[in-house]
Amino acid sequence: MPSLIDIKNLTVQFNGTSVLQNFSLAVEAGQKVTISGRSGSGKSTILRCILGFVNPTSGEVSIDGEALSSGSVWKLRRKLAYVAQEPQLGEGTTEEIMQQPFQYKANSHLKQNLERLPDYMDHFHLPQKLLQEDVADLSGGEKQRIAIISALTLDRKIFLLDEATSALDPESKEIVIDYFCSNDDLTVLAVSHEKDLTCFSDQVIRLTPAFQGGER
């Protein structure tokens, strides 16, 4: 059975400079994997390659057994949830932002999942009144949790977290980590320099610039 995320010999160059070199990684279903390393080591570039935002110089990425290509990228993105350090949620109230994805045909059959919203808000320690507030007025930590909740309502099973808990207080961070750890059906590939995220992982990859291989 193929890995859920399979990266083989990935090399990425910008302006002739290698950011990643021959990077390989296999993430199995349900695994929690953290990539750590100092700035410039290529951590976020890996996530951007998986999302199809960066075309590698060489190597390949497969998601759920299907190779990532210009023909498959839009289909495969629907399997992924990307949560950035500073999520760009759009404009409007939190509730409007949450409802927006279900207006698309690809997600319309999941609209009933919005009924879970109050439970998710409670679980991640967000007040219900936040749904009526403009997203522009939310704190960084609130935006991060809203982005996670939005992905959960869309039944995304693969989470790409790019410093996605950096704005959370210790209690909220623990709640997020515990949620992912207690759900075996969720696969997580996280980019972080924080020890509390590396501790929750089944596997930790430490990168250096022009990284050559992985360290468990």
SS3 category, 100: helix
Domains detected in the chain: 5-207 (3.40.50.300)
Provide the CA 126 distance to its chain's centre, in angstroms.
20
Instruction: Give the tokens for residue 42.
Output: 């290529």
Q: What is the pLDDT of residues 131-187, one digit of tens each?
A: 999 999 999 999 999 999 999 999 999 999 998 888 999 999 999 999 999 999 999
C-alpha pair distances (Å), 76 with each of 122, 178, 214: 30, 27, 25
Write out pLDDT tens, residues 65-91. 999 999 999 999 999 999 998 899 999
Q: What is the pTM of this model?
A: 0.89
